[in-house]
Amino acid sequence: MTADIATRIRAAGIDDSALLLPLLHELGYPGTLQSVSAQMAIYAGSNASRVLVADGEAGTLAGLIAGHLIPLLHQPGNLGRITALIVARDAQERGVGTALLAAIERWFAAQNCLRYEVTSGDQRAAAHRFYACRGYVSDERRFIKCSPAS
């Protein structure tokens, strides 16, 4: 990375779908260009979801983060939920993840989010350390039930 990565973070658009796909695959998420393009079209029409990317070298992406707003019922404000944070292997340990996290947190704050949450698989110990070093604490327990359609 030759330039300051924080200056190269931007909102992703539908035209970025082909660049997002290798990052998603790197973290083990399945997907096709068609499925990612369809999801990005949904994001483009939403005020409650964002995908931010860090531009890499030679027309690649160094990373991405996806965040969503969830309105709270019990008090005024929102919950900011991070559903994906991926840094390309060749861009790790260069501040990309920290810059992406800070950027989505700024968006969350501007959208009156009272707290931010992220889910990380049990097998991702390095990710857990990353979040802990940035003020995230392990809290509560999630219970998940998959839809019969999935």
pLDDT-based confidence at residue 1 (cuts at 50, 70, 90): very low
Which class is 5-133 in CATH?
A: alpha beta
- N- to C-terminal Cα distance for the chain? 39
User: What DSSP string runs through 21-69?
Assistant: HHHHHHTT----HHHHHHHHHHHHT-SSEEEEEEE-STT-EEEEEEEEE
Average of per-residue pLDDT across 39-58 = 93
Would you state the pLDDT for residue 28? 86
Joined tokens for residue 102? 């800070």
Percent of the chain at pLDDT > 70 equals: 94
Which of helix, strand or coil describes residue 96?
Answer: helix
pLDDT-based confidence at residue 6 (cuts at 50, 70, 90): low
Domain ranges, ordered by start, for the chain:
5-133
> In angstroms, rounded to a whole number, what is the distance separating the alpha carbons of residues 66 and 11?
10
pLDDT-based confidence at residue 141 (cuts at 50, 70, 90): confident
Residue 2 has pLDDT above 50, yes or no: no
